[in-house]
Structure 1
Amino acid sequence: MQKDQLFTRRRMLLAGAAALGAAGTAGLIVAGSDEEGARIAAHAPAPAPAPAPAPGPQARQAPLKSSAFRLQPLTGGAPPHSAPRKLKVRTEPIFRIPEHGRQMMLTFDDGPNPDYTPHILDTLAKHDVRAMFFLCGECVEVNPHLVARMAEDGHVVGNHTWTHPLLTTLDRSEIKSEMERTSHIIEKFYGDLPQWFRAPYGAWNKATFQLGAEMGMEPMAWTIDTTDWDTPGTDVIIDRVESGAAPGVVILSHDAGGDRSQTVEAIQEWLPYLLDSGYHLTVPNRRV
């Protein structure tokens, strides 16, 4: 979404949402079967973050040799093409992923954008890493080739509504339209219905959880906000990722919604740092 009048509200709301996400109960996606993947440890305390390796030569030694260790899927089998899963309605989104093998997940919101998304995809491809992209329908409509590339490169895409509205200000039918239209256009160009949903600004309510479950989508939040939406400077973004790195962390970045040149520059620095530090960057399986 690239509407100038939303930028100020985006910054205020995201700052609040990040605080809420950090304080929320940690949700867990469990590796294994579909049934296991739908479980959530609703009252499990969030583990203390592991200290990030100190920058310097030692922190960047022993890079991973095989991409197989970087691409460990979160979930197993999936239902047939275009068949939404029957999901239990959650009462809060998922904030974290399993910590097995120092796993982390990278996510990007608001795209695709022709000025920034290709550069991020290029960096991910260079390091043979997959990520999750939460797409806005209106951006998919004008950049379908980028969605097709995400599919070809093995990235997982999620639903981020059509126009990036504050869903808590809409009625149920309006929320359904925003989510449903986006799922349909993602299926058209990605080749599959999205199985994940992220509410714009991290603003969730009962209707979003219910409708998402009806459409076969799990609600995904985040653990660490890079604050790149506020264009704080490339060094700040790098520091937030590297200092916040820990097993189970979900990183929030953006590839659209404003000037994302800092995000493009920052990922070229922090992505190899995470890999050289031994983190396994994972995504959920696509349907087959």
Structure 2
Amino acid sequence: MKQDQNASGRRALLRGFTAVGLAALTGCAGTDRANAPAGASPSAAPAAAGPPAARVLGPSAYRLRPIAGYGPQRVAPGKLKVRHRPILSMDFERSERAMVLTFDDGPDPRYTPDILRTLRRHDVRAMFFVCGEMAVDNKDLLREMADDGHLIGNHTWTHPLLTRMTRHGMRPEIERTCEVVEDAVGEPPAWFRAPYGAWNRAAFRLGAELGMEPLAWTVDTLDWKTPGTDTIVSRVLGGAAPGVVVLNHDAGGNRSQSVAALRDYLPQLLDDGYRITVPRRRGI
């Protein structure tokens, strides 16, 4: 499990790579521990969450419908097209007013259960990009995500800067996390997000070889900086638009602000007519 004491080191690393962004040769999506900085600490972390709340959703729930026709095929490893830059937003009809919420770095038993309860309360799905070192001891939370219809993505094992790694060193970071997810929920992830949004050719190729599409984001809440709940809410609502992918965190530091912000902005998005959904995962 990541420790808050790593936050300052990761933030320093992040600052050094902020300039990389989307302008990088390999199509970096932007940087921050928003693909996982260990994060700072706002107020004291809440007590560990109790057992998951009872499931109340049904498969026909309107807000649970996946985006039609979008998303990676469940293809055999090595058969997916190798991209040269990550997907930044979802391409579907503007009239659909659909958005995607994503959460990085977890699962963390201090914060992830509260996020899952809020999503369940509003009958919506989201995407969770998990780190293997967190997931391996919290497979129950992975199963809860899958049971509720959320998509689980790969965010590497230890959240390293992939652009500083060899392909040989990168492979187990990605492959081991795929194995943990598959062991917990019965299928490997179909989506991959590079830590810090720092991509290179090897990362794209390895992801494709393992049957995963690379997903970045459109709106960065910068919640890992703990800017305050109101600021996080304002960033989400201010960036809301059809096709937008929002970056949040459910681990990597004290995420109580992120938990509180979701409770605030999610009902507002729904009241504004947005459908919060996930890309469809289709069979071969």
Give unpaired runs (5+ residues) of structure 2.
30-59
Matched residue type, 1:7:
A
Aligned partners of 1:97 and 1:249 also within 8 Å: yes
Q: Structure 1 residue 209: deviation in Å?
A: 0.5
- Once the two structures are TM-superposed, the CA of residue 9 in structure 1 deviates from its matched residue by 4.5
Find the partner of 1:145 among 135, 140, 143.
140
Aligned equivalent of 2:35: none
The TM-score, its normalising length taken from structure 1, stands at 0.79
Which residue does 2:67 correspond to in 1?
Answer: 73
Say which of 101, 106, 109 aligns to 1:111.
106
Match in the other structure for 1:61: none
Give the Cα–Cα distance (whole angstroms) in 2 for the partners of residues 22 and 115 of structure 1. Answer: 36
Alignment length (residue pairs): 248
Deviation of 1:76 (Å): 7.1
* 238, 245, 248: which one aligns with 1:250: 245
Q: Paired residue for 2:216, among 218, 221, 224?
A: 221
For 1:241, what is the secondary structure of its paired residue? helix
- Listed as ranges, the gaps of 5+ residues in structure 1 are 28-65
Q: CA deviation at 1:98?
A: 1.8
For residues 72 and 222 of structure 2, what CA distance do their matches in structure 1 show? Answer: 34
* CA positional deviation for 1:21: 4.5
The CA deviation at 1:287 is: 5.2
Output the CA distance in 1 between the equivalents of 2:100 and 2:221.
Answer: 13
- The Cα shift of 1:11 comes to 3.4
Q: Percent identity?
A: 57
Change in 2 beyond 3 A, CA 1:137/1:77: closer
Distance 2:22 2:5 in 1: 25
Shift of 1:260: 0.2
Q: Which residue of 1 aligns with 2:81?
A: 88
Report what 1:166 is aligned to.
161
- Flag the 1:18–1:235 CA change in 2: closer, same or farther, 3 A: farther
Cα distance change, pair 174–3 in 1 and its aligned pair in 2 (3 A): farther
What is the alpha-carbon distance in structure 2 between the residues aligned to residue 275 and residue 128 of structure 1? 10
Amino acid at match of 2:210: M
2:4–2:254 CA contact under 8 A, matched in 1? no
* Match of residue 20 from structure 1: 21
- Output the CA distance in 1 between the equivalents of 2:99 and 2:18: 20
Divergent runs of 4+, >2 A: 3-6, 8-25, 69-80, 285-288
* 2:203 equivalent in structure 1: 208
Which residue pairs with 2:266 in the alignment?
271
Aligned counterparts of 2:168 and 2:20: Cα–Cα separation in 1: 29
1:83-127 deviations in Å (ceiling 9; x for gaps): 436111111100011242111100000000000000000000000
- Output one character per residue of 1:227-277: Cα deviation in whole Å (capped at 9) or x when no partner: 110111111101100111111110000000000000011100000000000
Residue deviations 1:121-180 (CA, integer Å, cap 9, x gap): 000000000000000001111101000101100000000001111111111111001000
The 1:77–1:197 alpha-carbon spacing in structure 2 relative to 1, beyond 3 Å, is: closer
Between the aligned partners of 1:206 and 1:77, the Cα distance in structure 2 is 19
Match of 1:2 in 2: 2
Q: Structure 1 residues 224, 215: CA separation in 2 closer, same or farther (over 3 Å shift)? A: same
Q: Secondary structure at the match of 1:184?
A: helix
Counterpart code for 2:275: H
Measure the CA separation in 2 of the matches of 1:181 and 1:241. Answer: 32
One of 275, 278, 284 as aligned partner of 1:280: 275
Describe the shift of the 1:85–1:67 C-alpha distance in structure 2 as closer, same or farther (beyond 3 A).
farther
Question: In 1, distance between residues paired with 2:13 and 2:270?
Answer: 31
Deviation at 1:20, TM superposition (A): 2.3
The answer as to whether partners of 1:11 and 1:229 remain within 8 angstroms in 2 is: no
Give the Cα–Cα distance (whole angstroms) in 1 for the partners of residues 271 and 22 of structure 2: 28
RMSD over aligned Cα atoms: 2.6
Q: 1:7-58: CA deviations, max 9, x gaps?
A: 2344356565598249998x9xxxxxxxxxxxxxxxxxxxxxxxxxxxxxxx
- The one-letter code matched in structure 1 to 2:209 is E
Residues of 2 paired with 1:151 and 1:255: CA distance?
16
